[in-house]
């Protein structure tokens, strides 16, 4: 905390004596190392030799290439050196290197240090991980905050009150002028439990009454430096009462200013306040590379503000001033009233199935500069969404919706979409309505006539099953089927149900047929007619010269057979083969007692073994069928697998469909 000038002058006098003593000690030895404040990183400007000592005659342990990063914990005076490294350089100062390329030299070379000419390196620039600020009181007099801001300071913590009834004479001026200069500001209360051991609430109320806490300010601070004769338990109770009263009156949890030694001694190193939600610690620990944090690293939260120097120099401020750091690059988490809201524009958007649309996501920020993570939920099945940017540091984002086409498109309807933004422990949501409209008709496949087994070849024609598909995200409510025979007009046929997608009909042998279908969806969109291939049912009788046989076959006249006759074989291995052109093939044979089994091969590939056995006789059975999408040159071969008691297979005819 700022203190009387005479106290600071005394500290500077003591510090001056220490420096003089150190200078005398260094003068004793010309080659004594000048140790850096802490290990520093350096980048090689050219290829550099690393040596065992600070001498050009020492052994070279490694040659490191340009750009290598080393860490040195000291500089030493050694032999003169000179080199051309971009430009001509010379000197007698050497780096005492402890790490090369991220690996310790003890691991690399088995020594504690290696040495390199310092002029062959430049300092590694490390991005800062904190913001700089100051804390002040009336001791600093009138402050030029424009110069303070120009010097790179981001925040000011100014004394507001002390005890009960005292307001710092510069508080109101510091608050107004620092804010006007664009600096984040807050006030602190210098606690006097030594003078008011029973009045923590009154001190808190006085602080709140003078603070004028407003959105945009940093959370206020309790400065703890005086314990008086209070025990740690009593002081803990006093501090707790003060904090809770300020929280009650402002809705803001104050930060706590203390030093490690004071907290250990006066408050018994308690972590109680950090665990109760007072997580912002302002630690006073001067002239160290990193502060010691009491209370078990402040309940695991670490330090938030660090007063690292009690007598710094800052443009715009006369004399000494306390120097502080904020542990981070954004003050939003410690800014009072920092908030954000997300919205949608427009609040409702319509999109056709298969099309895309966009919503604008405006982000309203109130003293809030952190990136906000955005997500969307509630999308209908089949829709895809993207948010750009998904992690937003600006004032708008774009929500893009793609209502994918085809079967996967979302069903028509209204869908509430929830856009959620999360940042700094806060969650904000907004709702938009996506209306998916169905302007697309169903997708209908071409009706495909096929032969099927376990059916009967009628004397009036061939049984053919014609099937298709009709799909739509809004659902299909009706299918319509038409047929044309011998190139004639289209004739409609009723289906078993409005959405049946197959029909079985008898097609006259030798006559060309074609089918067409269309479908209507739940939004009353009707597709165009989809026309299937023209097909003709063709019979190739077993007596045709295009049918070849192997083994012993017998012919017989059978009135119920397709052509009035059949062939049959008893011997195992007897075979029959037909080469043909078509899109479907079927083997037609009688089934009954004494019939056996045969293996069927299509284009030389085994497709299964078929049994012709039945408890009673049935003529003209389609015992095997195979189908392709289009016409092609194919073959079917049937091989008798005669077994004892079931030696016989029969060939009545071959039925096929030919497209075109």
pLDDT in tens, 297-335: 999 999 999 999 999 999 999 999 999 999 999 999 999
Distance separating alpha carbons of residues 433 and 412, to the nearest angstrom: 13
Strand segments, DSSP code E, in 163-315 are 166-167, 184-190, 221-223, 255-258, 281-284, 305-312
Structure tokens at 211: 């603070």
Helices (H), 28-150: 105-109, 145-150
Q: What is the pLDDT of residues 611-630, one digit of tens each?
A: 999 999 999 999 999 999 99
Q: Which fold has domain 29-123?
A: SH3 type barrels. (2.30.30)
Query: Where residue 407 falls among pLDDT bands split at 50, 70, 90?
Result: low
- Mean pLDDT for the chain overall: 92
d(C-alpha 459, C-alpha 190), whole Å: 111
Query: What is the average pLDDT across 480-490?
Result: 97
- Please report, for the chain, the start and end positions of each structural domain, with discontinuous segments joined by +: 29-123, 131-334, 339-435, 443-532, 538-659
Lookup: tokens for 389: 């940017």
Pair 272, 241: CB distance under 8 Å:
no
pLDDT for 182 equals 97
Closest alpha carbon to 160 in 216, 199, 217? 217
Residue among 162, 168, 223, 472 flagged as catalytic: 223
pLDDT over 70, % of the chain: 94
Digit-coded pLDDT (tens) for 544-585: 999 999 999 999 999 999 999 999 999 999 999 999 999 999
Burial class (CB in 10 A: 0-12, 13-18, 19+), 524: exposed
CA dist., res. 391 & res. 398, Å (int)? 11
Note the CATH number of domain 339-435.
Answer: 2.60.40.10
| Position 425 confidence tier, pLDDT thresholds 50, 70, 90 | very high
What would be the CATH architecture of the domain defined by 131-334? Alpha-Beta Barrel (3.20)
| pTM of the predicted protein model | 0.59
Whether residue 19 is predicted with pLDDT greater than 90 in this model: the reply is no
Active site residue 135: yes
Q: 131-334 and 538-659 share one CATH topology?
A: no
pLDDT of residue 409: 79
Of 225, 244, 276, 309, the active-site residue reads: 225
Residue 462 to residue 511: CA distance in whole angstroms: 11
Catalytic hit among 135, 472, 566, 652: 135
Could you tell me which residues are beta bridge partners of residue 539?
A: 655
Is 225 known to be catalytic?
yes
Rounded to the nearest 10 degrees, how much is the dihedral formed by the CA atoms of 544, 545, 547, 553? Answer: 80
| Terminal C-alpha separation, the chain | 98
Mean pLDDT computed over 199-225: 98
Q: Which fold has domain 443-532?
A: Immunoglobulin-like (2.60.40)
Largest CA distance in the chain: 135
In words, the CATH class of domain 538-659 is: mainly beta
Nearest CA to 232 among 278, 265, 272, 193? 265
């Amino acid at each position: 905390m700022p203190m009387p000038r005479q106290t600071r002058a005394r500290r500077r006098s003591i510090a001056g004596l220490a420096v003089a003593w150190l200078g005398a000690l260094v003068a004793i030895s010309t080659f004594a190392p000048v140790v850096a404040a802490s290990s520093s990183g350096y980048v090689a400007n050219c290829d550099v030799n690393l040596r065992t000592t600070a001498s050009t005659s020492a052994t070279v342990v490694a040659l490191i290439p340009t750009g290598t990063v080393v860490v040195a914990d000291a500089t030493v005076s050694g032999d003169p050196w000179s080199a051309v490294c971009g430009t001509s350089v010379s000197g007698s100062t050497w780096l005492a290197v402890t790490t090369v390329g991220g690996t310790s030299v003890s691991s690399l070379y088995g020594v504690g240090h290696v040495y390199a000419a310092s002029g062959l390196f430049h300092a590694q620039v490390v991005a800062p991980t904190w913001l700089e600020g100051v804390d002040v009181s009336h001791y600093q007099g009138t402050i030029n905050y424009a110069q303070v801001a120009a010097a790179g300071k981001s925040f000011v913590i100014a004394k507001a009150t002390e005890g009960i009834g005292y307001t710092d004479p510069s508080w109101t001026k510091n608050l107004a002028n620092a804010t006007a200069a664009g600096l984040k500001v807050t006030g602190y209360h210098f606690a006097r439990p030594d003078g008011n051991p029973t009045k923590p609430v009154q001190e808190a109320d006085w602080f709140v009454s003078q603070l004028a806490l407003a959105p945009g300010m940093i959370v206020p601070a309790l400065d703890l430096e005086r314990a008086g004769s209070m025990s740690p338990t009593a002081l803990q109770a006093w501090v707790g009462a003060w904090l809770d009263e300020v929280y009650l009156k402002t809705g803001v949890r104050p930060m706590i200013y203390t030093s490690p030694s004071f907290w250990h001694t006066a408050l018994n190193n308690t972590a109680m306040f950090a665990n109760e939600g007072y997580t912002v610690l302002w630690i006073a620990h001067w002239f160290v590379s990193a502060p010691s944090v009491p209370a078990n690293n402040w309940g695991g939260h670490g330090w938030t503000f660090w007063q690292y120097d009690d007598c710094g120099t800052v443009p715009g401020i006369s004399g000494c001033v306390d120097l502080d750091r904020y542990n981070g690059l954004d003050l939003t988490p410690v800014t009072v009233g920092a908030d954000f809201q997300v919205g949608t524009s427009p609040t409702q958007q319509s999109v056709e199935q298969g099309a895309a649309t966009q919503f604008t996501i405006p982000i309203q920020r109130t003293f809030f500069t952190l990136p906000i993570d955005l997500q969307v939920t509630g999308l209908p099945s089949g829709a895809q969404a993207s948010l750009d940017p998904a992690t937003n540091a600006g004032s708008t984002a774009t929500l893009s919706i793609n209502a994918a086409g085809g079967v996967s498109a979302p069903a028509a309807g209204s869908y509430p979409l929830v856009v959620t933004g999360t940042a700094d422990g806060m969650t904000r949501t907004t709702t938009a309505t996506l209306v998916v409209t169905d302007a697309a008709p169903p997708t209908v496949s071409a009706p495909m006539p096929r032969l099927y087994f376990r059916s009967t070849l009628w004397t009036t024609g061939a049984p053919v099953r014609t099937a298709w598909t009709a799909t739509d995200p809004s659902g299909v409510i009706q299918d319509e089927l038409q047929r044309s025979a011998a190139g004639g007009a289209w004739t409609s046929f009723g289906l078993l149900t409005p959405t049946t997608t197959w029909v079985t009909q008898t097609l006259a042998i030798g006559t060309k047929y074609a089918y067409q279908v269309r479908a209507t969806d739940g939004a009353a969109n009707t597709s165009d007619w989809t026309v299937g291939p023209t097909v003709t049912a063709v019979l190739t009788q077993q007596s045709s010269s295009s049918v070849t046989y192997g083994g012993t076959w017998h012919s017989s006249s059978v009135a119920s057979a397709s052509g009035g006759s059949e062939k049959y074989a008893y011997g195992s291995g007897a075979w029959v083969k037909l080469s043909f052109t078509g899109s479907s093939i079927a083997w037609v044979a009688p089934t009954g007692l004494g019939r056996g089994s045969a293996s069927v091969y299509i284009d030389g590939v085994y497709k299964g073994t078929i049994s012709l056995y039945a408890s009673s006789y049935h003529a003209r059975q389609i015992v095997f069928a195979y189908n392709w999408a289009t016409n092609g040159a194919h073959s079917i071969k049937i091989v008798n697998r005669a077994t004892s008691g079931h030696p016989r297979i029969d060939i009545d005819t071959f039925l096929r469909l030919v497209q075109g």
